[in-house]
Structure 1
Amino acid sequence: MMNRRAFLQSSAAALIAAHAHSLFADPLGLPIGCQTYPVRKQIATDFTGTMKSLRTAGFTNIELCSPYGYKDFNGLQQYKPQELRRMLSDWGITCISAHWAPSELFQKADESIAYAHDFGMTQMAVAALGPFNYKGTETADDVKRYVEPFNAFAEKAHAAGITALLHNEGFVSAHIDGKPVYDMMIAELNPETTKLQFQVSTLQQGYDPVTYFHKYAGRFLSMHCQDWVKDPSTKSGFRQVPLGKGVVDWKAVFAAAKVGGIKNYFVELEEDPALMPPSVPYLKSLNV
């Protein structure tokens, strides 16, 4: 994990480079966003400094993690949701989305929805349904069993003007008898109350964002952006790099994202948060 000085230096360098590309439109004409989970350790010790560094790097939209469901975000409990939103606004940052622990959505749905509503969020995402470390013995009936409470939560959220998002990690990206669980879950989701948030790194598991944005046109709302190169020295066989420096064809992804319905996207490079600021100049130069 990088230290604060490295993050600040990287942010400043990215800002200079981003200014040089200021004449170019951001992809889809949307603000450049980032997921805050990669900088969770910095948030735990210096929330203000971390947010200002992200803004300096060129990120104007963030996706938080729940202060009650994610340990490193517990410090944000000291702020009322309206106060937290005002702080971000003062720093030039918007936040309409957050990730929540499954227990918050299924066991404390009313409290979680109330927090998101008071904050002004319009999207509530869950990283996975079912076991994150699945055994491989799950069945199609298990898929339905995991989706059912999410649909129930989504109905409540929808009544409050909030869209429930399913993110495709963990068991969501598994296969049962050769069939992708992701497709099975999409078939069970209520399209009137739920949308999808695509994790681009699942391309490594055969989930091509271009294919899915076209296959399920209009069902998507958001995506997390990762880029990588093959690296046999790593456990996974891949190593993350700044967007535009790896194997992902971002022009094709963003072009398909229009069809899929993407309205916001977040850079998320968890292996090394210092890789996130250098992704901004590339995104500013990318015309789709």
Structure 2
Amino acid sequence: MNRRMFLLGGAASALLSGTRYLSADPLGLPIGCQTYPVRKSISTDFAGTMKGLSAAGFTQIELCSPYGYDDFSSLRQYKPQELRRMLSDWGLGCISAHWAPTELFQKADESIAYAKEFGMTQMAIAALGPFRPRTTETVDDVKRYVEPFNVFAEKAHAAGIVALLHNEGFVSEHIDGKPVYDMMIAELNPATTKLQFQVSSMQQGYNPVTYFQKYPGRFLSMHCQDWAKDSSTLSGFRQVPLGKGVVDWKAVFTAAKIGGVKNYFVELEEDPALMPLSVPYLKSLNV
């Protein structure tokens, strides 16, 4: 994966340097990249991986906690401020990371202190409740899962950090035909929490345009995936670079402004080599 990542990153970089693009990316926001898809190469060659992402045209990244995600444990050797300076030297900013539930609910003070020292302003969780639901969860479970997140969010807010709920796992399920996501949004404290939309949840009936318009100002971030139909795969889809699939990105980014989105991250986990190939499209997308 490393070799493909860097080869394609270099190709994307060469393409970018040889082509004129609009100076404004979608909504004038930096082009970001979630680092989970390149977690394996981060564990073996952090510097090379980050330089490859920067060369491809990404200027922001979203990390995963070195203490909550095993594949990021190699980053524990760096102090938060040192890690931020390294990223800055490679041309990358980082204001957000994903954290494990135990870090937010059992070690909140410790995790918030790390984020503050790093200089982050957003702390996200991938899901509330089980990542692989049993389909036996109830409405009472929804409230039970949201409550500790609201408690954490209040602590984070006091420290100047926004708590983000990402909609994967149980968050994107349905109970008696009703979307769990909406139930959770109703339970979240809007004064201390924001939302990070997972665009691939469209496959489960969650259209980002609909949600950005339905809940104006509640969103702060989104993860961007694109896909094409492929009958040879188990899911019936395969991921492709942004702009090469079924997602209407102009409509998504237009609605994202209503939703309150201030940062976004390309995340193509099936094949991270596709992520650099999304940059030229984003640079050409004027919304």
Q: TM-score, normalised by structure 1?
A: 0.98
Report deviation, 1:233.
Answer: 1.2
Q: Deviations over 1:15-35 (max 9, x none)?
A: 122231433420010110000
Aligned position for 1:54:
53
Partner of 2:133: 134
- The residue number in structure 2 matching 1:182 is 181
SS class of match (1:278): helix
> Which region of structure 1 is more displaced relative to structure 2, 232-241 or 59-68?
232-241
- How far apart are the structure 2 equivalents of 1:26 and 1:16? 18
Q: Which residue identity does 1:47 align to in structure 2? A: F
Q: Distance in 2 between matches of 1:245 and 1:21?
A: 20
Counterpart of 1:63 in 2: which secondary structure? strand
Corresponding residue number in structure 1 for 2:200: 201
1:12 corresponds to which of 10, 13, 16: 10
Q: Indicate conservation of the 8 Å contact 1:21/1:285, yes or no.
A: no
Q: CA deviation at 1:80?
A: 0.4
**Deviations along 1:83-126, whole A, 9 cap, x unmatched?**
00011111111000000000100000000000000000000000
1:249-271 deviations in whole A, cap 9, x for unaligned? 00000000000000000000000
C-alpha distance in 1 between matches for 2:20 and 2:157: 39
Q: Distance in 2 between matches of 1:185 and 1:7?
A: 37
User: Per-residue deviation at 1:223?
Assistant: 0.1
* In structure 2, distance between residues paired with 1:225 and 1:109: 28
Once residues 187 and 75 of structure 2 are traced to their aligned partners in structure 1, the CA distance between those partners, rounded to angstroms, is 34
Tell me whether 13-22 or 197-206 shows the greater mean CA deviation.
Answer: 13-22
Contact 1:21/1:284 (CA < 8 Å) preserved in 2? no
Q: In angstroms, what is the RMSD of aligned CA positions?
A: 0.7
Aligned to 2:275: 276
Deviation of 1:230 (Å): 1.0
Instruction: Give the % identical residues.
Output: 81
Tell me the distance in 1 between the aligned counterparts of 2:56 and 2:73: 25
1:241 corresponding residue in structure 2? 240
Q: Give 2:4's aligned amino acid.
A: A
Unaligned stretches of 5+ residues in structure 1: none
Structure 1 runs, 4 residues or longer, greater than 4 Å off: none
1:36 aligns with 2:30: no
Provide structure 2 residue ranges, at least 5 long, that are not aligned to the other structure: none
Is residue 22–residue 286 contact of structure 2 (8 Å, CA) maintained in 1? Answer: no
Q: State the distance in 1 between where 2:16 and 2:200 align.
A: 24
Give the structure 1 partner of residue 75 of structure 2. Answer: 76
> TM-score, normalized by length of structure 2?
0.99
